[in-house]
Amino acid sequence: METDLSFILVNWNTKGLILEALRSIVDTVPGYGYEIFVVDNGSVDGSPEAITGAYPRVHLIRNATNLGFARAVNQALAQTAGRFICLLNSDARFLEGAVQTLVAFMEDNPDVGIAGGQLINADGSRQNSIAPFPSLATELLNRRLLRILFPRHYPGKEREYPFPIDVDSLVGACIIVRRQAIEEVGDLDEGYFFFMEETDWCFRMRENGWRISFVPGARILHLQGASAAMAKAEAKIEYYRSRYRLFAKWRGRTKTILLKLGLMLRLVGEVSGNSLLLWKQRYRERWRAYCRLLLWHLRSCPSHDGLREVRYVTTDQR
């Protein structure tokens, strides 16, 4: 049978989550010739062995260390055969019919390079699944307020979309990508370690004439924040690092400098504000994370800090 779909999942110490994600593929994707690749980034929680035991047909690529999301995906991409590539987070679950809806949309719209469905919470409420390309406004102002005041320019979960629409970019918890588009624009940029890879991909797709589409009829459960042991400070550092890389690449040096200055001022405010409530644990944890992030900026954003230095953490690799 011809391979229509290649699924790629990246795992980093998320044994329970990755097994459930794989089960959602097996349970909801009948009728297609598909293959599944899992790239394990040096897990030490027994998840590689559990994957092999539960799903022996899964192609497992094992790395000795955490190589980051983009590099791991590219490892699998080089081995895939599908006409469409589906990237799925370990904390995401396909609901019935989601994959079929996405594939049908891609087949009916040959000029679409990337499509994504509606991410939902466990209670059925909508998550943000789409986003405008990052700008000084989106990064320095209140995003929710922007979405409410200017819904046409800043679409989001506040509005229900009955039909597919074209968007700037998609939240990468679950996206389907056309192989032809990848062959034209290239693989994920490995300069991003953990965040913003899919946004950069969307920039490149749009630049090369491919559409990016949101397909609300495809619903995907996303267990956002499912791992309580997230290395919050390290994750924030990695997110800021990716932000600055994206801005330097697509917005230019001047806007990148303005972004750094604006975010540093915001961090000073966060440190000051949370310091007034240190007797409460959640504010104490936030204060520590913001202090760490501010210190990282004051040290000129060194490359050795962040998630790439964390040896073990129970979080989804995305």
For 85-103, the pLDDT digits (tens) are: 999 999 999 999 999 999 9
Convert the pLDDT of each residue in 27-38 to its tens digit. Answer: 999 777 899 999
Encode pLDDT of 43-66 as tens digits: 999 999 999 999 999 999 999 999
**What integer is the mean pLDDT of 263-283?**
90
- Give residue 303's pLDDT: 82
Rounded Cα gap, residues 139 and 249, in angstroms: 16
- C-beta separation of 210 from 181 below 8 A: yes
pLDDT of residue 97: 94
Q: Which of the 8 DSSP states describes residue 260?
A: H
Residue 297: CB partners within 8 Å, gap ≥ 6? 240, 260, 263, 264, 267
Residue pointed to by tokens 């590539």: 85
307 vs 230, residue with greater confidence? 307
| pLDDT at site 1 | 54
Element at 222 (helix H, strand E): strand 211-222
Q: What is the mean pLDDT of residues 236-249?
A: 94
pLDDT at site 306: 61
Alpha helices for the chain (secondary structure H) = 15-28, 47-54, 69-77, 98-108, 136-140, 143-149, 179-185, 197-207, 232-250, 253-275, 281-298
Whether residue 141 is predicted with pLDDT greater than 70 in this model: the reply is yes
What pTM, to 2 d.p., does this model score? 0.91
* Residue 230, pLDDT score: 44
In this prediction, residue 315 has a pLDDT band, given cuts at 50, 70 and 90, of very low
What is the Cα–Cα distance from 113 to 61, expressed in whole angstroms?
26
Copy the structure tokens of residue 261: 């200055």
192-232 pLDDT, tens digit per residue, is: 988 999 999 999 999 999 999 999 999 999 987 543 344 57
